[in-house]
Amino acid sequence: MPESLGPGVFVEEIPLGPKPIQGVSASSAGFVGPTWSGPTSGKLPLLISFAEFERVYGGLEPLNFGGKLTPNYLAYAARAYFVEGGKRLYVSRLTQAGDHDLPSAQAYRGSGDEKTGLAALESIEEIAVVAAPGSSAKYSGDNRSRVDEITNALIQHAEKMHYRIAVLDTPDGQNPDEARAYRSRLDSSFAALYYPWVTINDPLAKAPLNLPPSGFIAGVYARSDMQRGVSKAPDNLGLRSAAGLETALTKVQLDMLNAAGVDCLRPFQGRGYRVWGARTASSDPEWKYVNLRRYFAYMEHSIERGTQWVVFEPNGEALWANVRRTVEDFLFNEWQSGALQGSKPEQAYFVRCDRSTMTQNDLDNGRLVCLIGIASVRPAEFVMIRICQWTADRPAR
């Protein structure tokens, strides 16, 4: 209430409804790996185009590791990310100097104090997709353990940050059986594995070049989010910059890989090359689908950020009712957009924040407990169309 020391008319603004929850970005990407130039520690710049990437981190020219030229996988991945529909990218650069024996896995993990490697991405809250393009190349001999450690570092980073998913590449040159065996060593709902590598027409060498799929996939995620929302599985979308695939899969091979949790890329006559898999690298059937993990991350992150105002408010009935209305309004909009199941709101979600969710011990210790349930939409992975013979004089069943 405004201070009144004398007669007059006093105007004040008061909130009439619950504070709205705004959905967070779920498609900003973070890549880690070697580049030609750019910062190697500290605050990372936001990149909104490949031209900006080139200005900060250099072009597509091969990198020189100990006198040996290596494809600039991260630069190609950044290019693919923006071509496929990505809009916001952060890059944590690993320097060539000191990494010429290829980026120990510790270089990828980085240091939180120095803000290097994956650790440099931890302070950027909006990142929702992480990848290390090219880190799975040359999976043989002593390099196998290094690749496995980097893959595990990506998964552990995503699990630690909770609101992120790691887009993983199978090694190059693998056949379907090898790709399935590689997948069998992974188990996390915060990661998804893609196969095979993507062939492009290299603008530098003017020849075909095979690239890890993660840069393309991260861009497809962003395009799908903008077109349909996070709840839609980022699949059955064409790869705009693909000229081919390293391995052509048969229907039998694709079925085998999909059942094993390997998300495949495949050609379609007249429809180009498309993402044809929607599964995480998890053995838990509850978190089998990529869109389900990403949508829950989006929901949880949005609600967490949108309810920060609750902290230190008087923990009573009025606050509980306000929290319920705030969350319910957000979920109602999600249901209206088709992200939740159910023909009416009460079938799509529930929100409880009252004496049934809190004990006296919770209240005495300053805890407000809100229980939220949502009926998320799963993808139509298997579409069954049944056709039978019918004559004009036979009634339809």
Q: Are residues 120 and 268 in the same domain?
A: yes
What would the pLDDT profile of 369-393 be if each residue is shown by its tens digit?
999 999 998 888 788 888 888 777 7
Q: In this prediction, what percent of the chain has a pLDDT beyond 90?
A: 80
For 257, phi and psi rounded to 5 degrees? -70, -40
Span 205-223, mean pLDDT? 97
What is the pTM for the complete model shown? 0.92
Q: Are residues 357 and 264 in the same domain?
A: no
Instruction: Decide if 346 is inside a domain.
Output: yes
Q: Which residues pair with 344 in a beta bridge?
A: none
Instruction: Give the domain extent around 393.
Output: 313-397
For 170, phi and psi rounded to 5 degrees? -70, 155
Cα gap 294→167, rounded to integer Å: 12
Q: Are residues 152 and 197 in the same domain?
A: yes
Q: Are residues 84 and 233 in the same domain?
A: yes
Instruction: Decide if 226 is inside a domain.
Output: yes
Closest residue by Cα to residue 258 from 193, 175, 336, 354: 193
What local confidence, expressed as pLDDT, does residue 389 receive?
Answer: 80
| pLDDT above 90: residue 41 | no
Instruction: Decide if 182 is inside a domain.
Output: yes
What local confidence, expressed as pLDDT, does residue 228 receive?
Answer: 93
* Structure letter (DSSP) for residue 117: G
Q: Are residues 225 and 332 in the same domain?
A: no
Q: Are residues 258 and 347 in the same domain?
A: no
Q: Are residues 149 and 252 in the same domain?
A: yes
Q: Are residues 262 and 348 in the same domain?
A: no
CATH of the domain at 227: 3.40.50.11780
What local confidence, expressed as pLDDT, does residue 391 receive?
Answer: 77
Span 318-322, mean pLDDT? 95
Is-contact 96 65, C-beta < 8 A? yes
Closest residue by Cα to residue 30 from 218, 191, 234, 156: 218
Instruction: Decide if 14 is inside a domain.
Output: no
Q: Which of 248, 264, 293 is the last residue of a domain?
A: 293
**Structure tokens, 381:** 């992975």
**What is the CB neighbour count within 10 angstroms for residue 202?**
16
Q: Which of 235, 260, 293 is the last residue of a domain?
A: 293
Instruction: Decide if 6 is inside a domain.
Output: no
What local confidence, expressed as pLDDT, does residue 97 receive?
Answer: 45
- Domain count within the chain: 2
Q: Are residues 130 and 217 in the same domain?
A: yes
Q: Are residues 180 and 148 in the same domain?
A: yes
What local confidence, expressed as pLDDT, does residue 68 receive?
Answer: 84
| pLDDT above 70: residue 102 | no
Give the model's confidence band at 99: pLDDT under 50 very low, under 70 low, under 90 confident, else very high. very low
Instruction: Decide if 12 is inside a domain.
Output: no
What would the pLDDT profile of 171-185 be if each residue is shown by its tens digit?
999 999 999 999 999
Q: Are residues 330 and 256 in the same domain?
A: no
Q: Are residues 397 and 337 in the same domain?
A: yes
What would the pLDDT profile of 229-239 be if each residue is shown by its tens digit?
999 999 999 99
Strands 89-94, 127-131: parallel, antiparallel or unpaired by DSSP?
unpaired
